Amino acid sequence: MPVGRDRLEHLQSKLVSLMSSPLRRRFFSRGQCSGPHLSRSIDRPWNGLCLGGIYPRKQAQPDFIWFKHRPRRQTIVRMAAARKRREARGGTPARSRREDVMKNLAVITYAALGLWALGYSNVLAQAPKTFTLKFNHVLGPKEPYHDGFLKWAKAVEQRTNGGLKIDVFHSAQLGVEEDIIEQIRQGANIGQNTDAARMGNYVPGIAVMNGPYFVETLEEVAKLRKAPTVAKWQEELATKFGLKVVSFNWVQGYRHFFTNKPIKTPDDLKGLRIRTPPAPIWQESIRALGAVPVAMAFGEMYPGLQQRAIDGVELVYNNIPGGRFYEVLKVANETKHIMLINFEVVSGKWFDSLPKEYQDALVEEADRAGEETSRQILRLEAEVEQQLKSRGMTINKDVDLAAFRKAGEKAYEVLKITDAKNSVHKEIGK
């Protein structure tokens, strides 16, 4: 039974009792309407009360009442005559009768408004609540990831019948990634495409997933979803830091060094300033591979290359056309030093506020869209290579991968996460 039902029935009974008295016939006339509310007319605002639904239908009672209006002069004359007749008979003074009438009218008014308020609150309580997630990412609108996020949003909205909507913002429109993550921690209904490196700022062990040659195939990435150690890191992120990892089934592809000279071994990177995201695992990985890491936001790379604040970048192939980096860099060196796993993160507090079926839709559709997008990206890499060649960029495949793998181990040692890496590798059979 809805909250307030007893009070509703009491007000309804009181109102029906008053409306069945001679008072109704003297001061009201009738019409029809569909629900309780204050009524208005063109020349007399708030001139009546709509009481739809109060009378039982079987009694064929009207659902609308409104106050009769008479010309002011006629009303005064009639009231004066009535007062004289009552006083001649020794009846109740007119003022007392008017006070009684106004009291009854006030009761009717408050009863009707009470019925309306209670009915309206019950309607609101029974209406399904809707949720919105504002999802931010730093990539451009032509990137495969952006299309993947839009597909995720569409699938979630359809599956929840519009109950959960995701608005996708490209090119860091909502703000810098690190700032957005802090807003997420505070419980905002915002999501961010990020990586294990930035999550490693909160739970150090999880940063291994962003380390050099940690995983090298999509099949190995899929096994991470069942690794107990990874699950424990995700739980710690949610309970201690308010960061719910919805999915990490999104792989941007292999990271390579893009420079203005060929790179074959780690020694060839010596002295080169390479842009990295501002996270320890990124910086130590690039340093271990032989270069000088320079922390810089994604949107600052192109002007940084123009102004020679940096000598190169390490990105996936699909970042190059969107950022037009082929205009300022000449060589793509296929080091494949990181298979970039991305995390889709939302507020743990916001996620817990969702109905269970919405939570399932958000997670399952993210994993599904992520896997589809990841495979599409790997298929597109060959096309992007040809596109970059046509724009004058050299593709260098003569790279000593064994030397780079060996050099990359130093990053895990410096950050003291070698044991974490070995533990996860054992769980996934690598």
User: Minimal CA–CA distance to 179: which of 164, 196, 161, 192?
Assistant: 192
Number of domains in the chain: 2
pLDDT at 36 (0 to 100): 43
DSSP state of 277: -
Q: Identify the domain boundary among 99, 126, 153.
A: 126
| Domain shared by 61 and 194, yes or no | no
What are the tens digits of pLDDT across the range 162-205? Answer: 999 999 999 999 999 999 999 999 999 999 999 999 999 999 99
| Domain shared by 172 and 220, yes or no | yes
Q: Identify the domain boundary among 126, 149, 180.
A: 126
Q: What is the pLDDT along the chain (430 residues), one digit of tens a residue?
A: 344 445 545 555 555 554 555 444 443 434 444 444 444 333 333 334 444 443 333 333 443 333 344 444 455 556 666 666 666 666 555 455 555 555 555 555 655 566 555 655 554 455 578 999 999 999 999 889 999 999 999 999 999 999 999 999 999 999 999 999 999 999 999 999 999 999 999 999 999 999 999 999 999 999 999 999 999 999 999 999 999 999 999 999 999 999 999 999 999 999 999 999 888 999 999 999 999 999 998 889 999 999 999 999 999 998 999 889 999 999 999 999 999 999 999 999 999 999 999 999 999 999 999 999 999 999 988 899 999 999 999 999 999 999 999 999 999 999 999 999 999 999 999 8
Query: The whole model's pTM is what?
Result: 0.68
| Domain shared by 264 and 141, yes or no | yes
CB 314 within 8 A of CB 256: yes
pLDDT at 322 (0 to 100): 84
| Domain shared by 65 and 83, yes or no | yes
How far apart, in whole angstroms, are the C-alpha atoms of residue 14 and residue 44?
27
Q: Which domain holds residue 34?
A: 5-126
pLDDT at 115 (0 to 100): 55
What are the tens digits of pLDDT across the range 249-266? Answer: 999 999 999 999 999 999
pLDDT at 82 (0 to 100): 64
| Domain shared by 303 and 334, yes or no | yes
Q: How many CA atoms lie within 13 A of 104 on its CB side?
A: 17
pLDDT at 196 (0 to 100): 94
CA distances from residue 86 to 23, 77, 288, 405 in whole angstroms, order as listed: 18, 14, 107, 110
Tokens 């990359």 locate to: 408
CA distances from residue 258 to 139, 291, 351 in whole angstroms, order as listed: 18, 12, 38
pLDDT at 382 (0 to 100): 87
| Domain shared by 276 and 424, yes or no | yes
Q: Identify the domain boundary among 97, 126, 155.
A: 126
**CATH code of 362's domain:** 3.40.190.170
| Domain shared by 144 and 116, yes or no | no
pLDDT at 38 (0 to 100): 40
How far apart, in whole angstroms, are the C-alpha atoms of residue 221 and residue 125?
44
| Domain shared by 79 and 152, yes or no | no
| Domain shared by 77 and 194, yes or no | no
| Domain shared by 149 and 84, yes or no | no
How far apart, in whole angstroms, are the C-alpha atoms of residue 428 and residue 220?
7
| Domain shared by 189 and 112, yes or no | no
| Domain shared by 104 and 190, yes or no | no
